[in-house]
Each structure stands twice: as structure tokens, then as C-alpha cells.
Amino acid sequence: MQIQIFQDKESLHRAVAQMFIDAVKAKPNIVLGLATGSSPLETYENMIKDHQEKGTDYSGVVTFNLDEYIGLEGTHSQSYRYFMNTSLFNGLNIPLDQTNVPSGIGDVNEICKAYEEKITSVGGIDFQLLGIGTNGHIGFNEPGTSFDTRTHVTALTQETIEGNARFFESEDSVPKKAVTMGIQTIMDAKKIALIAYGSKKAAAIRDMVNGPITEMMPASILQNHSDTTLFLDEEAAALLKAR
């Protein structure tokens, strides 16, 4: 794993966005894996700004998001499809039918199978963006998830439900299940960038980098990935051993 530590969030997001912009320019039909949540938001803002000012072309890009809540329509303001449309896709020239977010409505087992097949059919994910949960989850692969999972249905932990409750009317209205790419799906991405900032993420970053590779710390498997870069601020990096 390569580690880049930034003094401020602005330069961190600029650096991640630039990595994606360069990748899109180098391969106009690139397959991107994307994340939701607070971590990538300003990265997406930078990508939109670059597209508007410099015209980086996304017309040939294909995207796959990590996850979606089960039970929320894509039009629901807390669905990840809605988040992606409003936070990124609507600001770029990417046709929406080239953007894939697993549906949380319908026969979810069939949806999982079809999602994996679609990723395979376009040749796999070239560049995957990740955040990390305070418990070390990537996607919605919570501690204890097998490292060999592919896209599947998962129950969210209480910690994740509480973490996401701020976006809903109450904790009760947070969906309890999600569809998520599996850990093996993520590991198959040719290149990975993971964003983490703030002291709340410091223990998870320490454990994923310096701890043992264990299914109890899902992100620790990234130690085995050949091309992963962590983009951290000083606070998230504060507990790392060798700095």
C-alpha cells in the first residue's frame, strides 16, 4: 500500500480528483468503481469543476458503485443512486445508462448476480474509489465478511446504522440491509484509492495498515492488493506506526 498524507482536506481531494481525471484522460472508456458517503464528496466536486472548466470527457466512461440500501427507490433522497446523480453524474457528461448502482428494489439475489456479470462483461473495474467505516468496513462489507465474497446482500451493523442515522429522520428509518460489492469484487479492481480523514478514522487506518490481515478488519485485505494508495489527512494518519 502506498500512503499519502495531506496537511489539509482541500489538497487531499484535489490529489484524488487529479488521479481520476488523469486516469479518464489516459483511458476514455475506463471502468470506474465509485463510493458514496462524505469521504468522496469534495473529490467529486473537484472532478465536476475540472469537467466544466477544462472539458475532461466522460462520455465513454462506465461506472459501478459499491453499494445501495435495500428498500430505497433510486429517487429516494437517501438512496445511493440519488446521491451519485446529484453529487457527480449530473455534473459530468456521462450518459446515465453507463452508470451502475445496484438496485435495492426487486429480486436482490438476482440483482447481485447480474451486477457481477455486468462488471465482468466490461472487463472488470480499472480504478476503484473507497472510503472506510470506523469499524474498517469497505463497501458495506462489515467485520466478519468473508474475503472471497462477491456482490451480495448484507445486514448493516448497529455501528453503521448509527453512523448513517444523521442522514435520516431517525435511526429507525435507516435501512437495515444493503446490496454491496463483495471484498473479492473490490480486490479484483486493478487500482484502488482509499480516502480517510478525521480522527474518527485513525484507529481503523492504524489497524488496516499495521494490524494483521483479518476478516474482522475488512480493509486489512488491501495490504495484499498490488496497487492501492491511501489518501489521508494528518488526523486519520495519527496512529500509524512508521510515518
Among 11, 27, 28, 38, which residue interacts with ligand F6R (rule: CB under 6 A)?
A: 38
CB of 148 to ligand F6R, least distance (A): 19
Pick 61 or 181: Cβ nearer ligand F6R: 181
Pick 67 or 215: Cβ nearer ligand F6R: 67
Pick 16 or 138: Cβ nearer ligand F6R: 138
**What is the rounded CA–CA span in Å between residue 96 and residue 85?**
8
Asked if 230 touches ligand F6R (CB under 6 A), the answer is no
CB 72 within 8 A of CB 104: yes
Identified catalytic residue from 42, 67, 126, 207: 67
Asked if 131 touches ligand F6R (CB under 6 A), the answer is yes
Q: Which of residues 132-151 bind ligand F6R (CB under 6 A)?
A: 132-133, 137-140
Q: Which of residues 52-71 bind ligand F6R (CB under 6 A)?
A: 66-67
**What is the rounded CA–CA span in Å between residue 166 and residue 1?**
32
Residues in the chain: 243
User: Which grid coordinates are listed for 11?
Assistant: 489538497
Pick 56 or 145: Cβ nearer ligand F6R: 145
Burial of 71 (0-12, 13-18, 19+ CB in 10 A): middle
CA 127 distance to own-chain centroid: 11
Strand pairing class (127-130; 191-196): parallel
Identified catalytic residue from 46, 65, 100, 135: 135
Residue 67 a catalytic site member: yes
Nearest CA to 2 out of 234, 235, 226 is that of 226
Asked if 221 touches ligand F6R (CB under 6 A), the answer is no
| Residues annotated as part of the active site | 67, 135, 137, 142
